Amino acid sequence: MMTPAERRRALAGGVFSLAGILLFVGLAVFALLTFAGASSSSMSALADPYTLRILRFTLLQALLSTLLSVALAMPVALALARQRRFFGRIWIIRLMAVPMGLPVLIGALGLLAIWGRRGIVNDTLAWLGLQEPIHIYGLAGILLAHVFFNLPLACRLMLIGLERIPAEYWLVSGNLGMPGLSVFRFIEWPALRRLVPGIAGLIFMLCATSFTLVLILGGGPAATTLEVAIYQSLRFDFAPQRAVSLALMQIVVTAGILGFLTLFPAPEDRGIAAGKPVRRLDGRKIAARLWDVTVLSLAVLFLGLPLAAVALAGARADLPKLLGETIFWRAALTSLSIALGAGLLSVSLAMAITQAREAIAAKRNPARIARLFSATLGGTSSLVLLVPPVVLATGWFLLLLPGGDTSMLAPVLVLGINTLMSLPFVIRIVAPAMAAHRIRTARLSASLGLAGWTRLRLIDWPGLKKPLLMALSFAMALSLGDLGAVALFGADGLTTLPWLLYSRLGSYRTTDADGLALLLGLICLGLTIAGTAGLKIPEERDER
């Protein structure tokens, strides 16, 4: 229940939020379209063989990455769902969350330490007499990295669906003595079948708009995606015409993918199910246990070894020397300032959008324009998927190019781009929490006559503190690990920790890069722990 004053404030906040987002994104797109209209070569480049080759590779690597991620995640999710009571299960599930909150650049360094030319795998194979049989750079490295980051996401989403299967299904299957294939065919696959299209579509979108992984592991022009080609066209070749044509093609591709995703239900990650305890007799057979232990062990090694390699390599670096460098503290201060600003702005936008939609939904018969406004607010978070960060940065780069120096506004632009980049994820945390809080406290607040700042201080903040801090920490971690926006504007005047790490890596100062990766990872891990402090994951209970 909202008072008329609260409803007016909520709608005003929604209007200002929508106007700000549309203005920021619209100016960038306007700059791209204006530049393309003024240059005939920009439009003709859309049919250029080079552009079409990059488009084919972008879609090919996204398709292969999606197929591998989903196919490999399924047996891991099935094993976790089947073996519900063993020591360390909850830690494996938590390990699945680490790559999703890890800066992409750190994950790439960890994969290089394991699978690279001088990595553990190649050193072991060389000791066995084989000479560098694994080449991580190129398509193979991109697929490996995408599986590393997306397999945990697919596994967690599948596990949610499997744990929502009613306990009675397992009771009946145990009484009937159903074999493993029949259990999968009649019980597990129907639950997964509804989730797989949405999961695959989400991963395909993430892989099609991948930037940092392809930049690090692409290995040359033969393995370049649209976003990396945009960056190279502006940063190295300074070919704005080609950059604009690639950016417009990227918008068309992402629009097509988003349109395709609307045909399927979006997968939801609401945490581990805590319903009725389940007894699964199919997981007690020796063959099933051996298979599940093997699958889970391989998954832990695949995900854990790169993380351990980053920690060990970083520990061997000269950390006191890095901490004594002025450029490190300048980069850290810049990164934290941008991350905090982007996090606060993203959470504020998410709250304003959610409150405006709740104010409209609270009316019994909202007008058509109100329903349209609510739907538009709901779609604003998808703008960053439609216009990815590198494309946004390209539009603003071209918009500011006539002025000559873009470094003055670079921090503000990076902050704005990072805000929109984290907004879809922040809304997924904030919106359900605010809706549940409103249901619990609306009538009580109205009966006590609490409104405005008094209600915020006494009711809203205590009830929403944990999810808001969680959203803030997640948004800050995303911003801290971002390299896409900084890649175009990064220079001596704007140096962030990821940009400093990438610069040291590019100048073959790998020891410094390892140390910076460890420090950046610890900062992001600290933010994640701080944001999730007090949140409990329900444990499985044994029903005897």
- Using only the alpha carbons of the chain, give its radius of gyration: 25
**Quick one: three-class SS letters along 206-275?**
HHHCCCHHHHHHCCCHHHCCHHHHHHHHHHCCCCHHHHHHHHHHHHHHHHHHHHHHCCCCCCCCCCCCCC
Residue 137's pLDDT is 86
What 3-state DSSP class applies to 491?
strand
Residue 494, beta-bridge partner list: 491
The pLDDT-based confidence of 398 (bands split at 50, 70, 90) is: confident
- What is the overall mean pLDDT for the chain? 82
Question: Residue type at 338?
Answer: I
Cα gap 280→173, rounded to integer Å: 9
Higher pLDDT: 268 or 155? It is 155
The tens digit of pLDDT for each residue in 468-479 reads 888 898 889 888
Whether the per-residue pLDDT at 542 is higher than 70: the answer is: no
Q: Are 325 and 503 in contact (CB under 8 A)?
A: no
- Using CA atoms, how far residue 314 sits from 200, 223, 273, 514, 516, in Å, is 34, 29, 37, 5, 7
Residue 2's pLDDT is 66
The tens digit of pLDDT for each residue in 248-306 reads 888 888 888 888 777 766 555 544 444 455 667 676 778 888 988 999 999 999 999 99
Residue 71's pLDDT is 95
Whether the per-residue pLDDT at 523 is higher than 90: the answer is: no
What 3-state DSSP class applies to 237?
coil
Residue 45's pLDDT is 58
Ramachandran assignment for 465, one of left (phi > 0), alpha (psi -120 to 50 degrees), beta (any other): alpha
Q: Taking the mean position of all CA atoms in its chain, how far away is CA 239?
A: 30
Residue 537's pLDDT is 42
Higher pLDDT: 68 or 160? It is 68
The pLDDT-based confidence of 239 (bands split at 50, 70, 90) is: confident
Percent of the chain with pLDDT over 70: 88
The length of the chain in residues reads 544
The pLDDT-based confidence of 406 (bands split at 50, 70, 90) is: low
List of residues 6+ apart from 414 with CB closer than 8 A = 338, 482, 485, 486, 489, 494, 496
Nearest Cα to Cα of residue 394 among 232, 204, 219: 232
- Tokens (6 digits) for 132: 């560098």
The tens digit of pLDDT for each residue in 88-117 reads 888 888 888 777 778 888 888 899 889 888
The tens digit of pLDDT for each residue in 60-84 reads 999 999 999 999 999 999 999 888 7
Helix (H) or strand (E) holding 376: helix 368-380
Higher pLDDT: 178 or 404? It is 178
The pLDDT-based confidence of 490 (bands split at 50, 70, 90) is: low
Cα gap 1→15, rounded to integer Å: 20
Residue 396's pLDDT is 87
The tens digit of pLDDT for each residue in 36-61 reads 665 555 555 566 787 888 889 999 99
Cα gap 170→372, rounded to integer Å: 45
- Tokens (6 digits) for 235: 């940063």
The tens digit of pLDDT for each residue in 338-396 reads 999 999 999 999 999 988 888 888 777 778 888 888 888 887 777 777 888 888 888 88
The tens digit of pLDDT for each residue in 508-521 reads 788 888 899 899 88
Residue 275's pLDDT is 46
CA angle (412 as vertex; 406, 415 as ends), nearest 5: 125
Q: Are 501 and 516 in contact (CB under 8 A)?
A: yes
List of residues 6+ apart from 431 with CB closer than 8 A = 350, 354
Residue 544's pLDDT is 32
Q: What is the DSSP string of 492-518?
A: TTB--HHHHHHHHHHTT-HHHHHHHHH
- Using CA atoms, how far residue 37 sits from 29, 41, 42, 237, in Å, is 12, 9, 8, 21
Nearest Cα to Cα of residue 411 among 484, 489, 474: 489
